[in-house]
């Protein structure tokens, strides 16, 4: 019998869902109270299946380690993601993972924002930690709901994306002439011609630059979106790219930042390394490019990411007049 008479009342000791399920142990003043509680637990278990499981006492650092083993290693920069998660766990006091609350995480986030953390970084951290729970839930390693699932990202004011004008580009190449880095000029040309990130261009190998008849292209591997991208280039640019096996360039991000400074070009904080990508996309649209083609070139998974450049299209607003449903009625 799950309910037994003891000296000072009645003791409930039961596993309603078998030996692998949660064990219920509790003392009551009367048998009726014990029975009511057992009925409540069973009903709750029908509505919330995760409550039937044995209590998961793993701490946040434990599930982060498990996530890293089963999924985190596949990230583009797994060590960096793991360090961020470990730091979050430490700052939260490394609680039992199932007992982390939305309130506790929100308070932690609020203190970090007060200390100067940027909202965008806070949103990235939240997405990363949510992903740990979601991945382990999906593989049935965790049997309870994601405790921070309902925490919303901070609304961030959309920042204007800086891009280089034709005059800026001329200044930049003049500044590059005095650069010590041997690959800076050609890497800059590749980025401005393809919309590639500096890291992608610096990562090119000889085998990634291909001529097929009268067409030429470069293929970027190990991209942020984890999809390879092949982009056509001009014959002139193709001929300027070194022809050799293995890696073609060394990292030149710092050299690029110094060239931007020498050129006297002022950019918003955090946009220097991406300004060539933004420049390609902005000029592509200003010159009449198709937004869907741009999405493919940039490797964006969602069109919403690419739509930030849509306003550069020459007919961006004019189309609202020409394509609205009353246009033909008024011009027939």
Q: What is the per-residue DSSP string for 237-249? A: HHHHS---SSB--
Q: Is the pLDDT confidence value at 50 over 60?
A: no
Distance (Å, rounded) from C-alpha 7 to C-alpha 25?
16
Q: What is the DSSP letter of 74?
A: G
Q: In what helix (H) or strand (E) does residue 232 lie, and over which residues does it extend?
A: strand 229-233
Q: Is the pLDDT confidence value at 318 over 60?
A: no
User: Is position 300 annotated as part of the catalytic site?
Assistant: yes
Q: Which of 10, 68, 105, 309 is catalytic?
A: 309
Q: Which of 109, 171, 277, 283 is catalytic?
A: 277
Q: Which of 262, 274, 296, 316 is catalytic?
A: 274
166-318 fold? hpI Integrase; Chain A (1.10.443)
Higher pLDDT, 144 or 325: 144
Q: Which of 23, 54, 224, 236 is catalytic?
A: 224
User: Is position 262 annotated as part of the catalytic site?
Assistant: no
Q: How confident is the model at residue 5 (pLDDT cuts 50, 70, 90)?
A: confident
Q: How confident is the model at residue 329 (pLDDT cuts 50, 70, 90)?
A: low
User: Is position 316 annotated as part of the catalytic site?
Assistant: no
Q: Which of 197, 208, 229, 258 is catalytic?
A: 197
φ/ψ (deg, to 5) at 228: -65, 145
The encoded tokens of residue 286 equal: 């200003």
pLDDT at 232: 94
User: Is position 277 annotated as part of the catalytic site?
Assistant: yes
14: β partners: 24
- Read off the pLDDT of each residue in 203-231 and give the average, rounded to a whole number: 89
Nearest C-alpha neighbor of 136 from the set 77, 82, 60, 78: 60
Q: Where are the domains of the chain?
A: 3-52, 60-138, 166-318
Q: What is the pLDDT of residues 158-173, one digit of tens each?
A: 666 789 999 999 999 9
Nearest C-alpha neighbor of 32 from the set 6, 58, 52, 3: 3
How far from the centroid of its chain's Cα atoms is residue 285's Cα? 25
Distance (Å, rounded) from C-alpha 281 to C-alpha 6?
77
User: Is position 108 annotated as part of the catalytic site?
Assistant: no
φ/ψ (deg, to 5) at 124: -65, -40
Q: Is the pLDDT confidence value at 296 over 70?
A: yes
13: β partners: 25
Q: How confident is the model at residue 246 (pLDDT cuts 50, 70, 90)?
A: very high
pLDDT at 181: 95
pLDDT at 54: 60
User: Is position 143 annotated as part of the catalytic site?
Assistant: no
* Range of weakest confidence among 23-32, 210-219, 232-241, 269-278: 23-32
The encoded tokens of residue 284 equal: 């592509």
How far from the centroid of its chain's Cα atoms is residue 290's Cα? 25
pLDDT at 31: 85
């Amino acid at each position: 019998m799950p309910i037994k008479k003891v000296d000072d009342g009645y003791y409930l000791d039961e596993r309603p869902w078998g030996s692998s399920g949660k064990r219920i142990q509790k003392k009551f003043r009367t048998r009726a109270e014990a029975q009511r509680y057992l009925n409540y637990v069973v009903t709750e278990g029908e509505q919330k299946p995760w409550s039937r499981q044995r209590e998961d006492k793993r701490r946040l650092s434990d599930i982060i380690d498990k996530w890293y083993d089963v999924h985190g290693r596949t990230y583009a920069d797994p060590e960096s993601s793991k360090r961020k998660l470990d730091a979050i766990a430490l700052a939260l006091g490394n609680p039992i993972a199932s007992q982390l609350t939305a309130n506790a995480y929100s308070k932690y986030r609020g203190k970090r924002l007060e200390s100067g953390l940027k909202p965008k970084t806070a949103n990235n951290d939240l997405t990363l930690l949510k992903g740990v729970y979601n991945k382990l839930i999906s593989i049935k390693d965790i049997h309870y709901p994601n405790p921070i699932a309902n925490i919303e990202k901070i609304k961030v004011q959309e920042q204007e994306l800086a891009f280089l004008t034709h005059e800026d580009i001329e200044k930049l190449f003049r500044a590059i002439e005095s650069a010590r880095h041997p690959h800076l000029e050609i890497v800059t040309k590749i980025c401005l011609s393809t919309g590639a990130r500096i890291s992608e261009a610096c990562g090119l190998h000889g085998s990634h630059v291909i001529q097929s008849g009268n067409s030429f292209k470069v293929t970027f591997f190990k991209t942020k979106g984890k999809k390879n991208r092949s982009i056509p280039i001009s014959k002139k640019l193709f001929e300027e790219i070194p022809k050799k096996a293995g890696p073609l360039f060394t990292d030149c991000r710092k050299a690029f930042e110094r060239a931007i400074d020498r050129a006297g070009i002022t950019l918003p904080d955090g946009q220097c390394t991406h300004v060539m990508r933004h420049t390609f996309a902005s000029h592509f649209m200003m010159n009449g490019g198709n937004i869907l083609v741009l999405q493919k070139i940039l490797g964006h998974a969602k069109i919403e990411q690419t739509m930030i450049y849509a306003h550069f299209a020459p007919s961006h607003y004019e189309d609202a007049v020409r394509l609205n449903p009353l246009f033909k009625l008024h011009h027939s």
